[in-house]
Chain A
Amino acid sequence: MSLLEVGDLTISYTDSAEPAVSELSFALERGESLGVVGESGSGKTQMAMAIMGLLPANAEIRGSIVFDDTELIGAGPDLLNRFRARRIAMVFQDPMAALNPYVRIGKQLKRILMEHELCKTGEATERTLDMLRKVGLPDPERQYRAFPHQLSGGMRQRAMIGAALLGEPDLLVADEPTTALDVTVQAQILHLLKELRAESDAALLLITHDLGVVAGNCERMLVMDRGQLLEEGTTQEVFGSPASEKMRALLAAAPRVSGESQASQAPASSKAVLDIEELSVSFKEQRDRGRVNAVRPIDLTLNKGETVAVVGESGSGKTSLARAVVGLIPADTGRSMFLGNFLPGSLNTRNQESRRELQMVFQDPLASLNPAMRVSDIVAEPLRVHEPGDETHEASVEAILCQVGLGSELLERYPHELSGGQAQRVAIARSLILKPTVMICDEAVAALDGTVQDEILQLLRAEQQRSGLSLIFITHDLAVVRQISHRVLVMYMGRLCELANNESLFGRPRHPYTKALLNAVPLPDPNARPVDAPLAGEVSSVLKPPSGCPFHPRCQQAIAICSESVPEPADCDGSFVACHRAAELDLSY
Chain B
Amino acid sequence: MSIFKSVIRTIQSSRTVTVCAAMLLVIAALSLLGPAISSHSYFSTDFDNRLLAPTLMDQHIFGTDELGRDLFSRTLFGIRITLLVAVVASFVSLGIGVLYGAIAGYVGGRVDGIMMRIVDGIYALPFIFSVILLMVAFGRSMLLILIAIGAVNWLDMARIVRGQTISLKQRGFVEAARLIGVPTSGIILRHITPNLLGVVIVYMTLAIPQAILMESFLSFLGLGIQGPQTSLGTLVNAGVSHMERASWLLVIPASVLALILLCFNFLGDGLRDLADPKGKT
Given A368-B173, A368-B175, A373 and B190 touching (CB < 8 A)?
yes
> How many angstroms from the CA of A326 to the CA of B176 in the assembled complex?
11
CB-based contact A355/B180 at 8 Å: yes
Specify which chain A residues have a CB less than 8 angstroms from the CB of B177 in the assembled complex: 370, 381
Name the one of B178, B186, B194 contacting A372, with C-beta atoms under 8 angstroms. B194
B195 part of interface (Cβ distance < 8 Å): yes
Given A352-B181, A414-B277, A414-B280, A362 and B194 touching (CB < 8 A)?
no
B110 part of interface (Cβ distance < 8 Å): no
B61 part of interface (Cβ distance < 8 Å): no
> How many angstroms from the CA of A98 to the CA of B181 in the assembled complex?
40
Secondary structure at the B interface, as helix, strand, loop or mixed, is: helix
Q: Name the interface residues of B162-190: CB closer than 8 Å to any CB of A.
A: 171-173, 175-183, 186, 190
CB-based contact A369/B173 at 8 Å: yes
> How many angstroms from the CA of A432 to the CA of B106 in the assembled complex?
27
Q: Name the interface residues of A348-368: CB closer than 8 Å to any CB of B.
A: 352, 355-356, 358-360, 362-364, 367-368
CB-based contact A367/B179 at 8 Å: no
CB-based contact A385/B173 at 8 Å: no
B5 part of interface (Cβ distance < 8 Å): no
CB-based contact A347/B179 at 8 Å: yes
A86 part of interface (Cβ distance < 8 Å): no
A291 part of interface (Cβ distance < 8 Å): no
Q: Name the interface residues of A141-198: CB closer than 8 Å to any CB of B.
A: none
Interface size bracket, A side: 20 to 34
B245 part of interface (Cβ distance < 8 Å): no
CB-based contact B277/A385 at 8 Å: no
CB-based contact A360/B176 at 8 Å: yes
Within the complex, the shortest CB–CB distance from B107 to chain A, in Å, comes to 11
Specify which chain A residues have a CB less than 8 angstroms from the CB of B186 in the assembled complex: 385
Within the complex, the shortest CB–CB distance from B165 to chain A, in Å, comes to 14
Specify which chain A residues have a CB less than 8 angstroms from the CB of B280 in the assembled complex: 414
Specify which chain B residues have a CB less than 8 angstroms from the CB of A434 in the assembled complex: 180
CB-based contact B178/A328 at 8 Å: yes
Interface size bracket, B side: 20 to 34
CB-based contact A356/B181 at 8 Å: yes
Within the complex, the shortest CB–CB distance from B108 to chain A, in Å, comes to 13
CB-based contact A347/B178 at 8 Å: yes
CB-based contact B181/A385 at 8 Å: yes
Specify which chain A residues have a CB less than 8 angstroms from the CB of B183 in the assembled complex: 385
> How many angstroms from the CA of A296 to the CA of B186 in the assembled complex?
35
Within the complex, the shortest CB–CB distance from A319 to chain B, in Å, comes to 12
CB-based contact B181/A386 at 8 Å: yes
Central interface residue in B173, B186, B197, B280, by most chain A CB within 10 Å: B173
Q: Name the interface residues of A404-423: CB closer than 8 Å to any CB of B.
A: 414, 416
CB-based contact B179/A370 at 8 Å: no
A315 part of interface (Cβ distance < 8 Å): no
A430 part of interface (Cβ distance < 8 Å): yes
> How many angstroms from the CA of A369 to the CA of B173 in the assembled complex?
5
Q: Name the interface residues of B183-217: CB closer than 8 Å to any CB of A.
A: 183, 186, 190-191, 194-195, 197
A267 part of interface (Cβ distance < 8 Å): no
CB-based contact B173/A370 at 8 Å: yes
> How many angstroms from the CA of A370 to the CA of B277 in the assembled complex?
10
CB-based contact A371/B195 at 8 Å: yes
A382 part of interface (Cβ distance < 8 Å): yes
A211 part of interface (Cβ distance < 8 Å): no
Within the complex, the shortest CB–CB distance from B189 to chain A, in Å, comes to 12
Specify which chain B residues have a CB less than 8 angstroms from the CB of A362 in the assembled complex: 172, 175-176
Name the one of B173, B182, B194 contacting A367, with C-beta atoms under 8 angstroms. B173
CB-based contact B179/A372 at 8 Å: no
Cβ proximity bits A261-284 to B, threshold 8 Å, 1 near / 0 not? 000000000000000000000000
CB-based contact B176/A368 at 8 Å: yes
Specify which chain A residues have a CB less than 8 angstroms from the CB of B173 in the assembled complex: 367-371
CB-based contact B278/A416 at 8 Å: yes
Specify which chain B residues have a CB less than 8 angstroms from the CB of A386 in the assembled complex: 180-181
Given A368-B172, A368-B173, A414-B277, A355 and B179 touching (CB < 8 A)?
yes
What are 11 A-B pairs at a CB distance below 8 A?
A355-B180, A355-B181, A359-B179, A362-B172, A362-B176, A363-B172, A370-B177, A373-B190, A385-B181, A416-B277, A430-B180
Binding site for A on B (CB under 8 A): 171-173, 175-183, 186, 190-191, 194-195, 197, 277-278, 280
What 10 pairs across the A-B complex have the smallest Cβ distances? Answer: A368-B172, A372-B194, A355-B181, A367-B172, A370-B173, A362-B172, A382-B180, A414-B277, A368-B176, A416-B278
Given contacts A360-B179, A368-B175, A381-B180, 4 further A-B contacts (CB under 8 A): A370-B173, A382-B180, A385-B181, A414-B278
Binding site for B on A (CB under 8 A): 326-328, 347, 352, 355-356, 358-360, 362-364, 367-373, 381-382, 385-386, 414, 416, 427, 430, 434
